[in-house]
Amino acid sequence: MSYLEYKNYYFIGIGGIGMSAMAEYVLSINKNIAGYDREESFSTNRLESLGIKIINQDNPDYINLKFKENKKTLVVYTPAISSSNSILKYFKKNKFKIIKRSDLLAEVVNSKFCIAIAGTHGKTTTTSILSHILFNSKLKFTSFIGGIIRGYESNIILNGNKIFLVEADEYDKTFLKIKPNIASIINIDGDHYDIYSNIYDLKKSFKKFTKNLKEGGILFHDSTLDFNGFSFGFDSNSNAQIINLTHVEGKSIFDIKINEDIFKNVELNMPGTHNAMNALVAFLIAIELKVEPQTILNSLKSFPGVKRRFSIELHDPKVFIDDYAHHPSEILSVYNSIISIYPNKKNLVIFQPHLFSRTKDFLIDFARALEKFDKIALLDIYPAREEPIKGISSKSILDHINNKNKLLISKSEIYDLVKEDESELIISMGAGDIGNEVESIKQVLIESNEN
């Protein structure tokens, strides 16, 4: 039985960024949806506004009777859900069909023309930029996005079903289930060593992903990666190249050279070398889809940005930037961007490490990246799906940071810190729940200036 033939769908962990987008898609094809999540969030509030009933208690007694018919209900869960979850155990005990979100996603996107964006970093920004281009091009598409696009205020764009655009996530080897017509690999960095034994194992999985292309498909890849496809980068040997990159007032301006063709003064409404590269990938895919170059250029210029992806939340009284960075390479990208854009401003970074295993695997790399900032404040590790690892904590990072301006803080201490600190530029960073503090930090900064 096809996963899309069920009448009812129950999502366990429905507030997750990938789960909520899938729930909204299934709702759009006239299915009955309900779900559980332990926390209220932007995503759960959005789904509830669409009429989806969500419970916050891990208790099967609260599940609507309609969703307790095991022949009519498909249960979808995320790997972030513990096997001890009572609702998951209830569905298992009663012999419901239970699948991962990635299985449902694969069935949906593989059924039509599919564009898959892969890479250790930059997937969400690239997918968001390309979504904005496709929306302006009038193409009929649906995109599943790992973040919230400003302006659209959503992590899914439902604009038809001729094309599916999706992030191909390497975590849990999800991307190996996707069979794209167009794929991109933006970069490959070591990560997810709870899934992969080492960097070589990770690269082998990406290589396997490239074999998933449908007949006649095309792969766009970073020029430093050894794949058969169309290469892009800053390297003059790339098939597509960024040249003359500058940053002006929070924007990136550059030229794109594709073989012998040059598109001059491309303007992206986001700063950062890495974001210029993300824009290049979106540009190349849009060209492949026969989108008019001027539509692409106009879309890059008007791109509204993605929440928590180098989001400049305030310019005055201090500059305040929020970013999802949770890997040493991503932290370095944020640092390089702020030094390029704000070279004379003293900076303070507030970082929340994500996962005990990632902290353990990249302990020294985190320290080397973070110590470049003028002042560093570390929150406790956000555990997500993990149990603590003995001897691994935020202090483990702090002890290796070669910068005397460093401290450990609790969430409740953030506000006094930003109010009293003399730094002119403040950055909040991490993939955990530090994003929930952004609005409060903004308010404290505004009020402290008024006083």
List alpha helices for 211-313, DSSP H.
Answer: 273-288, 293-302
Fold of 110-302: UDP-N-acetylmuramoyl-L-alanine:D-glutamate ligase (3.40.1190)
The answer to whether 323 and 310 are in contact (CB under 8 A) is: yes
Q: Which of 77, 74, 72, 70 is nearest to 95 (CA)?
A: 70
Query: Of 11, 28, 6, 42, which Cα lies nearest the Cα of 308?
Result: 42
Residues in CB range of 404: below 8 A, 6 or more apart: none
Domain ranges of the chain: 3-100, 110-302, 311-450
Q: How far apart are CA 281 and CA 283, in angstroms?
A: 5
The 3-class SS string of 66-107 reads HHHCCCCEEEEECCCCCCCCHHHHHHHHCCCEEEEHHHHHHH
Q: Is 273 within 8 Å of 337 (Cβ atoms)?
A: yes
DSSP string, 225-239: S--SSEEEESSTTSS
Higher local confidence (pLDDT), 274 or 194: 274
pLDDT, mean of residues 408-417:
94
**How far is residue 188's CA from residue 224's CA, in Å, rounded to a whole number?**
10
For range 258-279, the mean pLDDT = 92
pLDDT in tens, 219-238: 999 999 989 999 999 988 89
Question: To the nearest 5 percent, what fractions of the chain are helix, strand and coil?
Answer: 35, 25, 35
How far apart are the C-alpha atoms of 364 and 45, rounded to whole Å?
39
CATH topology of domain 3-100: Rossmann fold (3.40.50)
Q: Which helix (H) or strand (E) holds 141?
A: strand 141-149
pTM for this structure? 0.88
Contact 174, 144 (CB under 8 A): no
So what's the pLDDT on residue 138?
85
Task: Assign residue 95 a region (left: φ > 0; alpha: ψ between -120 and 50; beta: otherwise).
Answer: left
Does pLDDT of 444 surpass 80?
yes
Asked, as a colleague might, if the bond just before 304 is cis with ω within 30 of 0, I would say no
Q: Could you confirm whether domain 311-450 is CATH 3.90.190.20?
A: yes
Segment 265-275 mean pLDDT: 90
Average pLDDT over residues 279-286: 98
pLDDT at 113 exceeding the cut of 90? yes
Rounded Cα–Cα distance for residues 245 and 337 (Å): 12
- Which amino acid is present at 425? L
Q: Is the pLDDT of residue 171 over 90?
A: no
Residue 39 has pLDDT above 90, yes or no: no
Mean pLDDT across the stretch 193-211?
88
Is pLDDT at 402 greater than 90 in this prediction?
yes
The pLDDT > 70 percentage for the chain reads: 99
Above 80 in pLDDT, residue 191? no
**pLDDT over 90 at 309, yes or no:** no
Instruction: Give the whole-angstrom CA distance, residue 303 versus residue 279.
Output: 10
pLDDT at 125: 94
The Cα–Cα gap between 394 and 429 comes to: 14
Average pLDDT, the chain: 93
Mean pLDDT, rounded, for 407-418: 94
CA angle 410, 414, 420 (to 5 degrees): 130
CB 340 within 8 A of CB 247: yes
Q: Which residues contact 110 (CB under 8 A, 6 or more apart)?
A: 177, 178, 179
Instruction: Find where tokens 């929070």 sit.
Output: 250
For the stretch 371-386, pLDDT in tens is: 999 999 999 999 987 8
Q: Average pLDDT for residues 385-394, to the nearest whole number?
A: 90
pLDDT of residue 275: 92
206, 61, 186: which is closest to 129 by C-alpha?
186
Return the pLDDT at 9. Answer: 98
Q: What is the pLDDT of residue 450?
A: 66
| pLDDT tops 90 at residue 356 | yes
Average pLDDT over residues 272-279: 92
CA dist., res. 221 & res. 60, Å (int): 46
